[in-house]
Amino acid sequence: MAKEVEKQELTEVSEAQIAVHWKEEEYYQPSEKFKAQANMRDPRIFEQFTLDKFPDCFKAYADMLTWFEPYRTVLDTSDAPFWKWFAGGKINACYNCVDRNLAKYGNKAAFIFVAEPDKEPDVSITYQELYDRVNELAALLRGLGLKAGDRVTFHMPMVAELPITMLACARLGIIHSQVFGGFSGQACGSRIQDSGSRLLITMDSYWRNGTLVDHKANADIAVQTANELGQAVEKVLVWQRYPGKYSAKTPMVPGRDVFMNELLGQYKGQNVEPLALPSDGALFLMYSSGTTGKPKGAQHSIAGYLAYVTATSKWVLDIDPEDIYWCMADIGWITGHSYIVYGMYEGVPTFPDAGRPWRIAERLGVNIFHTAPTAIRMLRKLGPQEPRKYKYRFKSMTTVGEPIEPEAWRWYYDEVGKREAVITDTWWMTETGGFLCTTMPAIHAMKPGSCGPAAPGIHPVIYDETGAEILKGSGKAGNICIRNPWPGIMQTIWGDRDRYVKTYFGKYNKNPKSKDWRDWPFMCGDGAVQAADGYYRILGRIDDVINVAGHRLGTKEIESACLTVPEIAEAAVVPVQDELKGRVPEVYVAIKPGVQPSQAIVDRVIKAIEEVIGKIARPKRVYIVPDMPKTRSGKIMRRVLAAISNRRDVGDVTTLANPDVVEQIRIMVQGKDITTRREELPEDIAKFGQVE
Ligand code: WTA
């Protein structure tokens, strides 16, 4: 009964939302100037990527790479849905990113590092220097006994040493797992354990918001956490933010911790041949949040992944050798892995003021700019007219990570792009390696708030709960899936084949034994609607994941962090709308009998979340409630809490085991008077916790 009501509500919500949002959005056309220079301007490209040409259409992507030995099969489906792209070949990712550029671009900057402190000079690293540094580091890693297939965890900030270390691993086939630098030591430790790394690579410190953070302290916690979970870390290699000087207070642990720069001395000038690795070997792991508390390591392949990001960088981001490309994402997230090539920046974009990005863009001559809605909202709020003061000129801009409001989009277009730059709204995720839906910037018109049609060779379909297709223009939302595999798709979840199959294919695969890719639509985990013109609008996650400022946080992870506080009996985390960050978590906790509610407990909960996950997961508010609203079978009704937190009506709660508590919590959060807002909840929040 309760389910029926919810279903009905959901349909009404999506239709109402579309009616409100949809009709006013107009198309914006790319300029003739942009079109004339674009890498991909032939609309017929899509004819080459129709499903009847699949999978051979993707040979064009593999051709963009340099191979040591050619591949034999475009797509090997023998172990479906564990796809092997371009199987049977030999290749090296580091060779493709570094070595093959030497002859032509040796003296050109590969990376430009901009430090957060304004006074520090930029550091420009040419391809030749990059080659030298990557080789020395590869020699060092080899010297430590690491070999292809071993895993190494990094917990690095945004510094040039990070891509250097990644590329050195790739040269030897060592699987790297970079944990976002802003995550806590504990979060890093559990990822070390899951990946089975014996080595942690970190940096002593880095700048953030004007403070030189002691980052080495996190390494000690990470190693301890991994140890407690049963994974011994033998060595911690510590880069120095200022080479030759130790910038952290935490002491080095003798025998375990080693300064990278000191060790590197032994490998000066050494070269390491890039290994000819199997094309379907693993390149890296990227941990991401899912429905359970355990983070999942998305495993990406060497050849398929590299081919996909190379092709999409060229065609969608429109990157050419003479461009200066700046992607604001942190390399610790998938966007940074896939789409950081030429530009780097250490700190926060609004430090010391909201004009900083535009000054940097002007000084470096940046012409391709890549950022996220949360940064766009923040820069707009703090300095709406700042971009006008600077003489940079962007030809193309990207937004990624969460849906962008048409208002914010228009500011990005008018002010940041100066009505000249095209915008690509690229929709994709950690698991997909590269873009799924986006406009092709010289071919399609832009529409604020929609990511656009699918990228070449990507064939989305929206299914309802029963597996029936939802047609375009119907105004109904559903679960967006991709009908076919593509080269950038993850290979598996590290160490958990079953979870991979269950999470991404469990709902819509009807024949688990099938070796035919047509039986395995990939469920992306987002709700979406497709307008009559074929453009997709993404509504947000459908699982228990909260997208905070474009970063995926698992509610279960946050809840288990709360339970590490001894006084807490139960915890429930829900997403709340936030003007800048999109969504932020709010926490409800019930305390154990006999314990008095107090501010101290609230503080301990916040501290626990920061320690277990990181400051990024800091909740907006923590409420100590007398009891959680529960179904008769004892399940916490997160949906009810989400409605309360977002100042909405809770709906019918009479079927709950304890309906009275709902009103108590409502008064605690919203006050005595009914002040709920009438406008509809965004779809992801409306659907939140519904599966229960
Ligand atoms: C969301 C980031 C709307 C989406 C690349 C997805 C977006 C999750 C967009 C993946 C976009 C990403 N429009 N929503 N352009 N891009 N998302 O794994 O909900 O960190 O499932 O990868 O971000 O986040 P992830």
How far apart are the CA of 334 and the centre of ligand 1, in A?
A: 10
Structure tokens at 90: 């030999």
Mean pLDDT of 251-275: 97
Q: Distance between the two ends of the chain, CA-based, in angstroms? A: 13
Query: Does residue 342 register a pLDDT over 70?
Result: no
Query: What is the pLDDT, as a whole number, of residue 346?
Result: 65
> Which atom from ligand 1 is nearest to the alpha carbon of 403?
3
What pLDDT shows up at residue 24?
Answer: 53
Helix axes 185-195, 216-228, angle to 10 degrees: 50
Please name the amino acid found at residue 6.
Answer: E
Q: CB 585: neighbour CB atoms within 10 A?
A: 25
Distances (CA, A) of 199 to 126, 153, 168, 296: 28, 6, 14, 19
What is the C-alpha to C-alpha distance for residues 354 and 367, in angstroms, rounded to an integer? Answer: 19
Strand residues in 7-138 grouped as ranges (E): 73-76, 84-87, 90-91, 109-114, 123-126
Whether the per-residue pLDDT at 542 is higher than 80: the answer is yes
- Inter-axis angle of helices 161-172 and 127-143, nearest 10: 60
Can you tell me the mean pLDDT for 154-162? 95
SS3 category, 428: coil
Ligand 1 atom index nearest CA of 288: 18
Nearest-CA residue for ligand 1 atom 23 is: 401
State which ligand 1 atom lies nearest to the alpha carbon of 431. 18
| Cis peptide, bond prior to residue 352, ω within 30 of zero | yes
Give the pocket of ligand 1 (CB within 6 Å): 288, 333-335, 400-403, 425-430, 451, 525-526, 538, 540-541, 547, 552
Going from the Cα of 337 to the center of ligand 1, the distance in angstroms, rounded, reads: 15
For the cut 60, the answer to whether the pLDDT of residue 277 exceeds it is yes
Alpha-carbon span 487 to 351, nearest angstrom: 38
Main-chain phi, psi angles of 484, to 5 degrees: -125, 155
Å from CA of 172 to ligand 1 middle: 31
pLDDT of residue 522: 98
The per-residue pLDDT for range 415-460, each reduced to its tens digit, is 999 999 999 999 999 999 999 999 999 999 999 999 999 999 999 9
Range in 123-137, 158-172, 537-551, 581-595 the model is least confident about: 537-551
Instruction: Classify 200 as helix, strand or coil.
Output: strand
Label residue 475 by pLDDT band (50, 70, 90).
confident
The pair of three-digit structure tokens given for residue 96, joined into one six-digit string: 């493709």
Asked if residue 372 has pLDDT above 90, the reply is yes
Q: Kindly state the tokens that stand for 84.
A: 């092997």
- Ligand 1 centroid distance, CA of 485 (Å): 18
Burial class for 429, CB neighbours closer than 10 Å (0-12, 13-18, 19+): middle
CA distance 516 to 57: 17
Mean pLDDT of the chain: 92
Other C-beta atoms closer than 10 Å to the C-beta of 252 total: 17
Q: Residue 393's pLDDT is what?
A: 96
Query: What confidence score (pLDDT) does residue 690 get?
Result: 65
CB under 8 Å to 654, separation ≥6 — which residues?
Answer: none
Q: Are strands 90-91 and 277-278 parallel, antiparallel or unpaired?
A: antiparallel
What is the Å distance from ligand 1's center to 238 Cα?
Answer: 32
pLDDT at 549: 86
Please state, in angstroms and rounded to a whole number, the distance separating the CA atoms of residues 545 and 3.
21
Secondary structure E strands in 355-414: 368-371, 396-400
Report the distance separating Cα 335 and Cα 434, nearest Å. 8
- Say what the pTM is: 0.91
What is the pLDDT at residue 14? 41
- Out of 49-63, 303-317, 552-566, pick the least confident: 552-566
For 104, phi then psi, to 5°, come to: -90, -35
In whole angstroms, give the CA distance from residue 159 to residue 179: 14
- Give the pLDDT of residue 650: 87
Tokens at residue 229, please?
């979970």
- Within 13 Å and on the Cβ side, how many CA atoms surround 57? 19
**CB within 8 A of 5, min separation 6: which ones?**
651, 652
**pLDDT higher at 13 or 492:** 492
CA distance 303 to 297: 19
Q: pLDDT tier at 143 (50, 70, 90 boundaries)?
A: very high
Q: How far apart are CA 271 and CA 131, in angstroms?
A: 9
Q: Which of 23-32, 224-233, 469-478 has the highest mean pLDDT?
A: 224-233
Residue 12 is predicted with a pLDDT of 38
Per-residue pLDDT, 350: 73
Each residue of 37-48: pLDDT tens digit?
A: 999 999 999 999
For residue 684, give the ligand 1 atom closest to its CA. 19
DSSP letter, residue 242: B
One-letter amino acid at 498 equals: D
Specify whether the CB–CB gap between 391 and 362 falls below 8 A.
yes
The number of the ligand 1 atom at minimal distance from the alpha carbon of 429 is: 22
Per-residue pLDDT for 156 more than 70? yes
More confident residue, 346 or 421: 421
In the reported structure, the alpha carbon of residue 454 is separated from the centroid of ligand 1 by a whole-number distance in angstroms of 14
Mean pLDDT confidence for 70-74: 98
461: pLDDT confidence band, cut at 50, 70 and 90? very high
| pLDDT above 50 (res 19) | no
Give which of 563, 587, 579 is closest to 644, Cα–Cα.
587
- Nearest-angstrom CA–CA distance, 555 and 543: 9
Residue 247's pLDDT is what?
A: 97
Residue-wise pLDDT tens digits, 216-248: 999 999 999 999 999 999 999 999 999 999 999
Q: What is the mean pLDDT of residues 322-326?
A: 91
- To test the pocket of ligand 1, the residue of 178, 337, 427 to mutate (highest count of ligand atoms within 8 Å of its CB) is 427
Q: Looking at residue 677, what is its pLDDT?
A: 72
The 8-class DSSP code of residue 119 comes to: T
Q: Per-residue pLDDT averaged across 192-201, rounded?
A: 98
Model confidence at 105, pLDDT cuts 50, 70, 90, reads very high
User: What angle is formed at CA 213 by the lines to CA 381 and CA 584, rounded to 5 degrees?
Assistant: 40
Residue 86: Cβ within 10 Å count: 29
Phi, psi of 551 (to 5 degrees): -110, 130
Give 291-308 pLDDT, tens digit per residue.
777 889 999 999 999 999
Tell me the pLDDT tens digit for each residue of 512-533: 999 999 999 999 999 999 999 9
Q: Whole-angstrom Cα distance, residue 244 to residue 248? A: 12
Apex 560 CA angle, 556 and 565, nearest 5: 150
What's the whole-number mean pLDDT along residues 481-494? 98
CB atoms within 10 A of CB 212: 16
Check if the beta carbon of residue 547 is closer than 8 Å to that of residue 538: no
User: What pLDDT is recorded for position 623?
Assistant: 97
230 CA distance to ligand 1 middle (Å): 33
pLDDT at 169 over 50: yes
SS3 589: strand
Give the chain's length: 692
Pairing, β 422-426 against β 396-400 = parallel
Task: Give the whole-angstrom CA distance, residue 130 versus residue 175.
Answer: 20
Look at residues 116, 114, 199 and name the one whose alpha carbon lies nearest to residue 155.
199
Confidence of residue 345 (pLDDT cuts 50, 70, 90): low
Q: Where are the beta strands (DSSP E) in 99-174?
A: 109-114, 123-126, 151-155
CB crowding 611-642: b at 16 or more within 10 Å, else e: bbbbebbbbeebbbbebbbbeeeeebbbbbbb
What does the alpha-carbon distance between residue 405 and residue 417 come to, in Å, rounded to a whole number?
16
Contacts of 420 (CB under 8 A, 6+ apart): 31, 33, 34, 393, 394, 395
- Nearest-CA residue for ligand 1 atom 22 is 429
